[in-house]
Amino acid sequence: MSEPIDTLLPKELIEAGRRAIDANRAAGRTIAVAESCTGGLISAALTELPGSSDVFLAGFVTYADDAKTQIGVGRDIVETFGAVSIATGWAMAQAALKESGADIVVAVTGIAGPAGGSDKKPVGTVVLARALKGQDPDDMHADKHQFGDLGRGGVRLQAALKALELLLP
């Protein structure tokens, strides 16, 4: 693949996107993402590469809670567990898998800051989830990360990098 012509994205993010695209192309898998706190950064990394459209199918930016429910996350899940929770991340991944028809999906929701944090969920709290087509939903990967208050851009970058890792076989 050729290099991107011009980009504002950090080189490490582009390289992580390249690894995800190349690995999934080699595995014959398609990708979709559901993003909240990263606001499309993962999709941007994946689409920065010419020819990625044969692997990357869709990106859902579900920043607001209503957007999460519109793709299929139950309002009761968001209201009961919060937008930044394992349950919501899991539901985002399942909804994106269903809506996109992709083989693998990664979802991310979190608190990038500078506001929005609490004692229980401080700035830098991010939940990542991965779903695979045909996988028992109970076997799905979902976990919470505490990146710390790295600044808004730093939290978003670390969340995107970790999400791209989850797309590797």
- Per-residue pLDDT of 12-55, as tens digits, reads 999 999 999 999 999 999 999 999 999 999 999 999 999 999 99
The residue count of the chain comes to 169
Indicate the pLDDT class of residue 3, thresholds 50, 70 and 90.
low
State pLDDT tens for residues 85-105: 999 999 999 999 999 999 999
Q: What is the pLDDT of residues 94-147, one digit of tens each?
A: 999 999 999 999 999 999 999 999 999 999 999 999 999 999 877 888 999 999
Name the pLDDT band for 8 (thresholds 50, 70, 90).
confident
- 3 state DSSP class of 149: coil
CA distance 113 to 115: 5
Q: What is the mean pLDDT of residues 57-63?
A: 97
Higher pLDDT, 136 or 157: 157
pLDDT at position 137:
76
Residue 142 near residue 109, CB atoms below 8 Å: no
pTM score of the predicted model = 0.93
**Locus of tokens 């390249």:** 18
pLDDT, position 121 = 94
162: amino acid identity, one letter: K
* Residue written as token pair 């990967």: 141
**β partners of residue 125:** 146
Whether the Cβ atoms of residue 125 and residue 110 lie closer than 8 Å to each other: yes
Domain 11-166, CATH number (from 3.40.50.300, 3.10.450.50, 3.90.950.20, 3.40.190.10)? 3.90.950.20
Q: Between 169 and 33, whose confidence is greater?
A: 33
Q: How confident is the model at residue 5 (pLDDT cuts 50, 70, 90)?
A: low
Q: Sketch the domain layout of the chain as residue ranges.
A: 11-166
